[in-house]
Structure 1
Amino acid sequence: MSMQLTGRQIDGVWHTSIVVYGKEIFYGQGISIVQPGQSHHGAPLQIVDMGETALDEETFTEYLTEMREHYTADKYHLLDFNCNSFTNDCIGFLTGGSIPSFIKDLPADFLSTPFGAALRPTIDAMFRGQAGPARPQAAPAPSSSTMPDPALTASLLQAVAARAASGSSSSGYLPTPAPTSPSTPSQAGTASLTAPIHVSTNPASFNALLRSHRAVIAFFTSATCGPCRMIEPVFEELANAKSKSNGVAFTKIDLSVGMGGSVASEWGVRVTPTFIFFLDGKKSHELKGVNGPELRTQVDLLIFQAFPPHPHTSLSLPTIQALSLNPILFTQVPALESVSTKLQGFIDAAPTWSSPLPKAEVKQVLTQLVLPYLKAKHVSKPPLPNVKAPLDRWAQVTLCLSSSLAVNDLFPLVDMWRLALLDPGASTWCASNRSQSNPTSIFLTKANDLLENSTPAVNPRNFLLTVLRMFCNAFSSEVLARELLSSNKTNIATLLVNTLLHSDATVRTAAASLAFNCAGYLQKLRVKKVRGEEVGGDQVEDGDWEVELTSAIIEAIDREEGSEEVVHRLSASIAFLLRLSPFYETQMAPLLEVLQARTVLKNKLEKGGCGPGGVTKQDIRKLVLEVAEKLCP
């Protein structure tokens, strides 16, 4: 289900073990050792030769004895500290290498999707703060617009987590110690792993951490170091508070565990506690001893250097900040029977029919599959949740109709898809569908071709209006919104540039709504970044695209003389495009000066600027003035 849930193919949630000296060793409920291929996980699906080791078995056994104090059942975390973390550490110790990247990087790949980023708090809630070697807690149902089915998601996650953390009863060499009470020193010593702290036990794992994070704070410690225990709570507190920022990692290296001493030697660490601060993989500062205030200062300084705050964060923008980031949606349900009848009439009247599907079969799909699905979702009270969406078949029919009907006759079909995209399952399916039958690609291409080659005999008003409203509804799903603004942003911009200046006021309003949704999605990502939340490594930002869209919106505002609502939505769009933009100083500010954006906006407030008396509604006037005076140079 990975494609439907995340928009990308994930072939497995991999468990790994290492086979060395004739034994299979893995981490779950502590460190377990069994005969190769005889663990409770069964026969391996794949065996990867990781090479040879020059170390003897006795040395490796000593290493495992040290590692068992760290790889205990209560520290297991599905993403941060799992079987693959252990296998990677062992490979690093034995060979200096690391496990394959498609396994090692799986958590990062998963979290880079909106679905994965939204699930992160749920996963943390299952694993963080457990006392003793307990099973993962039941997964609370996620509440997010990216979840096609929160209950299903929670049950799948619980199944994966239970399987991942399950242990073997045959750990003949290193049995898991009996749980101790929370008050005992051994339990207190493991509490640090309830904070988001990485444990590095060899140079390979440490260097991998440096490569994958912009800012790294490394705490070099040892089990016999009293001052280390004094400063450790401060380090853990900072890790809890600061590691939420994407690209920031806190790691602990115990010089007495594994190859921790080799990591220390590589960076010239001779005493503990020592803190080394890394920016883009390079050492930027070193701090020795117990100094909590200085540690806090240096952590803040490193994060500031890695992620300097945007200048707009210091501006007072109460009207802009009060704007809702929720997308504008067109949820009205027409008489579905009438829409279906109209579309069937267009099919019957088609002068030519180039589709390989007969007309009768196309109409059968529409009446027997599509119509019941739409009625179940939008007419039934309450909606029927178990009606299967006929998306693959419907998409084939859509491709057929797009090549057989005149573009003016396609708007009933587009209107049906407009309703369908309000269903999370349908929007997620569209986001993952890379075929030529994807309705978003079909209608976007049709609309842009129509705008470019329109003739007086063609009146595209109905088609363009329904297409714009359909794409507005696509933003009900963050998964589909991300896909559209990642792979179709050029075509989206072309559609907006042409429809924002349309002669029909209703079309202009729909276009302004789509511009608002695009800009609002960008703003939502930027606000999350400022707050230090993970946004899934989103690659939607594009300076040239945002310049083109901003230019079109400023021109549309300048020409809009009749609709205050259009001015309102476009002014909000400009506010979102400019506020916190990473391209503000280099591209946006110079553009605004050339376009005289401040003057254009203020003119809307004057007589004749929009209606006889200019914009009259006070909330719109406040917004226009704030954008003009605070964000336009």
Structure 2
Amino acid sequence: MTGYPVKLYVYDLSRGLARQMSMQFVGKQIDGVWHTSVVFKGVEYYYGAGVQTASPGGTHHGQPLEVVDMGESSLSEDVVLEYLESLKDIYRAENYDLFMHNCNNFSQDLCQFLVGKDIPKHITGLPQEVLNTPFGQMMKPMIEQSLRPITTAPSAPVRASSAMATEPLKTAPEPTAAHRVEYLTSAIELQNIIKNTHCVSVFFTSSTCGPCKIAYPKYDELAERYGDQCTFVKIDINKAYEIAQQWRISATPTFKTFVDGDVIDDWKGASPPTLESNVDMLIQIAYPPHPHQKLSLRLIFHTSNRPITYDRVPPLDKIAAKLKSSGINEKILFEVIDFIKAREAGGAREAPVPNLSVWASFVQGCLSSGTSGESLFPIIDLFRVASKDIRVASWFAEEPTLSTIDKVITYANGDMRPYQVRLVTLQLLCNLFTCHLFLPHLCNELSASVSQLTTNSLLDSNSNVRLAASSLALNFTAYGQKRRIETGEEALGDISIELLVALIEGIERESDSGPTLNRLLTSLGLLLYCVPAESELFEICSGLESVNIIKRKKAVDIADKALCTEVLQLLSIP
């Protein structure tokens, strides 16, 4: 697939003064004080007063001194914008540091994500080059004070364009409440809407009705709130005589509501509170709440707000020494170790991302070259720790065919693998749940291999593996439950059945670990919450005698009795 060009714009903030005066003051030739930005799909992205945008060449820095061709990227605009959104926590305005956390660090991260390439090292290495001189150290506060207002000045933002042209995106206006209201004058059209639409609200008004104007804002507000569930109609009876006669509308405002063609309510008057109350009632009748929504499930939802992650950093120097002794001595391995050290010591602003293309190739090479499981375990563990950084996780989420993470999971699914490999792979997958770009992949392209690893690991003989698998199951079911409530979609798809069977069997077998059992129970509750009563999941629960299994577990010491009760409530009210 042909990609879009990625350009690095390079500016000299010193306007040539660095070249003229650096030898005199610093003792070495400095060609410029570099500011960079990245141009992609007609938008210039840069870091100053936070993550900023402008038309190419439209920033306060003017035209660039140099334009570097970084290659092409086939990533979609939505993916890039989501990645940039994730960088806003790292590249805040208040975090800007001319020497340690600047525009060039931002450009480096963005170019790594877009094309997997580093920006020129003479740019990223300049701050340290200056600070390595005695005069540079002495002048650091003065230099930063003089240049900070230039680097962090605001610019007029633009939106990214999906076209290759260099003009800003022309987006359609956001839908307003008025756009959600249909204006009809045809009696046949109204009849068809009432007959063929599940839920309808009709507002009979007239251009000469003063009280109607009181109800307009509230009606538009309700159309905005419930527009996805109900069709809102306005009819001016001065223009729709046939409708007024057919429905015997003698006064305005008059409201009628319908569900599946039947009249639910009929009232007159312009009271906004009455209007809101009656429309709320209409929605309740048209979409009665699931019986599960009436239950108090504090324990099930208490642990599902955030994904479970594994943040422990292993002894990095020991890992490096062990891998060296095994003959694994590639440069990228130690660059990743240094990245993790810098990230842990000073946060993301102190840790430029290493070359992830090289790291991906290295990991894949180890997986396919017959590297022993004992050596692969620490390499995957480093992958786990590095993936805590949203920049790393996002890059791998957009890797073609998800080849690296797919190969890691496939390897961990193999027979006779050391339990440590399965353990750190499960923990790696848990960490990826913090990256929004990865979530659809985990439930779609990677679902079969992830499901196999999770379900097999829930029944593993090693208690640590079972605990990590129960954490991954909890992350999956929490994500699925959230999507089910927000969109009505079953995000987990075919994973649900395999996961359900493994959860019930895991609950029955678990006798050692209270935390593992509790996560299994919580996962089961989230998997079933607000699932349609006719769902196959409830049939499977019945066939596997899940109620009796949980009742027996409720009697054992390691079980949370109240949590068992909540799950039993869900099972009793499908």
Does structure 1 conserve the Cα–Cα contact (< 8 Å) formed by 2:522 and 2:563? yes
Could you tell me which runs of 5 or more consecutive residues in structure 2 were left unpaired when the two chains were aligned.
Answer: 5-39, 44-54, 57-75, 94-151, 162-173
Output one character per residue of 1:111-167: Cα deviation in whole Å (capped at 9) or x when no partner. xx9988xx9xxxxxxxxxxxxxxxxxxxxxx9xxx734247699999823799xxxx
> Aligned-residue CA RMSD in angstroms?
4.8
Counterpart in the other structure of 1:174 = none
**Cα distance, 1:248 vs. partner?**
5.4
Which of these residues, 451, 460, 480, is aligned with residue 493 of structure 1? 451
Cα distance in 2 for residues equivalent to 1:445 and 1:396: 16
- 2:206 corresponds to 1:234: no
Q: In percent, how many aligned pairs have the same letter? A: 30
Q: Matches of residues 474-485 of structure 1 in structure 2 within 5 Å?
A: 474-485=432-443
Which of these residues, 557, 579, 591, is aligned with residue 529 of structure 2? 579
Counterpart in the other structure of 1:521 = 479
- 2:572 corresponds to 1:592: no
- 2:78 corresponds to 1:147: no
Counterpart in the other structure of 1:405 = 370
Structure 1's 232 and 500: CA in aligned 2 closer, same or farther, altered over 3 A?
Answer: same
- 2:185 corresponds to 1:160: no
Letter of the 1:624 counterpart: C
Letter of the 1:587 counterpart: E
Structure 1's 403 and 322: CA in aligned 2 closer, same or farther, altered over 3 A?
Answer: closer
Counterpart in the other structure of 1:317 = 297
Cα distance in 2 for residues equivalent to 1:474 and 1:222: 56
Letter of the 1:631 counterpart: L
Does structure 2 conserve the Cα–Cα contact (< 8 Å) formed by 1:407 and 1:463? no
Structure 1's 275 and 579: CA in aligned 2 closer, same or farther, altered over 3 A?
Answer: same
- 2:254 corresponds to 1:290: no
Cα distance in 2 for residues equivalent to 1:603 and 1:627: 13
Structure 1's 273 and 491: CA in aligned 2 closer, same or farther, altered over 3 A?
Answer: farther
Does structure 1 conserve the Cα–Cα contact (< 8 Å) formed by 2:200 and 2:231? yes
Could you tell me which runs of 5 or more consecutive residues in structure 1 were left unpaired when the two chains were aligned.
Answer: 3-9, 14-40, 43-105, 120-141, 164-192, 349-359, 530-534, 607-613
Aligned residues: 422
Output one character per residue of 1:273-309: Cα deviation in whole Å (capped at 9) or x when no partner. 56676889x9988968535477446533553465442
Does structure 2 conserve the Cα–Cα contact (< 8 Å) formed by 1:148 and 1:428? no
Counterpart in the other structure of 2:179 = 198
Cα distance in 1 for residues equivalent to 2:306 and 2:561: 21
Cα distance in 1 for residues equivalent to 2:491 and 2:317: 39
**Cα distance, 1:553 vs. partner?**
0.8
Counterpart in the other structure of 2:333 = 366
- 2:502 corresponds to 1:552: yes
Counterpart in the other structure of 1:624 = 564
**Cα distance, 1:510 vs. partner?**
0.9
Letter of the 2:342 counterpart: A
Structure 1's 202 and 300: CA in aligned 2 closer, same or farther, altered over 3 A?
Answer: closer
Cα distance in 2 for residues equivalent to 1:330 and 1:297: 47
**Cα distance, 1:317 vs. partner?**
2.8
Counterpart in the other structure of 1:461 = 419
Does structure 1 conserve the Cα–Cα contact (< 8 Å) formed by 2:473 and 2:520? yes
Does structure 2 conserve the Cα–Cα contact (< 8 Å) formed by 1:221 and 1:255? yes
**Cα distance, 1:504 vs. partner?**
1.0
**3-state SS of the aligned residue for 2:434?**
coil
Counterpart in the other structure of 1:394 = 359
Does structure 1 conserve the Cα–Cα contact (< 8 Å) formed by 2:252 and 2:269? no
Q: TM-score under structure 2 normalisation?
A: 0.61
**Cα distance, 1:464 vs. partner?**
0.6
Letter of the 1:423 counterpart: D
Structure 1's 427 and 604: CA in aligned 2 closer, same or farther, altered over 3 A?
Answer: same
Does structure 2 conserve the Cα–Cα contact (< 8 Å) formed by 1:328 and 1:517? yes
**3-state SS of the aligned residue for 2:158?**
helix
Counterpart in the other structure of 2:308 = 328
**Cα distance, 1:473 vs. partner?**
0.9
Does structure 2 conserve the Cα–Cα contact (< 8 Å) formed by 1:515 and 1:573? yes
**Cα distance, 1:386 vs. partner?**
5.7
Cα distance in 2 for residues equivalent to 1:301 and 1:580: 21
Q: Matches of residues 20-39 of structure 1 in structure 2 within 5 Å?
A: none
Does structure 1 conserve the Cα–Cα contact (< 8 Å) formed by 2:484 and 2:490? no
Q: Matches of residues 174-185 of structure 1 in structure 2 within 5 Å?
A: none
Letter of the 2:544 counterpart: L
Counterpart in the other structure of 2:388 = 422
Does structure 2 conserve the Cα–Cα contact (< 8 Å) formed by 1:472 and 1:514? yes
Does structure 2 conserve the Cα–Cα contact (< 8 Å) formed by 1:197 and 1:250? no
Which of these residues, 540, 550, 557, is aligned with residue 615 of structure 1? 557
Structure 1's 389 and 276: CA in aligned 2 closer, same or farther, altered over 3 A?
Answer: farther
Does structure 1 conserve the Cα–Cα contact (< 8 Å) formed by 2:258 and 2:265? no
- 2:397 corresponds to 1:431: yes
Does structure 2 conserve the Cα–Cα contact (< 8 Å) formed by 1:500 and 1:552? yes
Output one character per residue of 1:486-513: Cα deviation in whole Å (capped at 9) or x when no partner. 3322222211121111111111111111
Q: Which structure features the higher share of strand residues? A: 2
Structure 1's 588 and 391: CA in aligned 2 closer, same or farther, altered over 3 A?
Answer: same
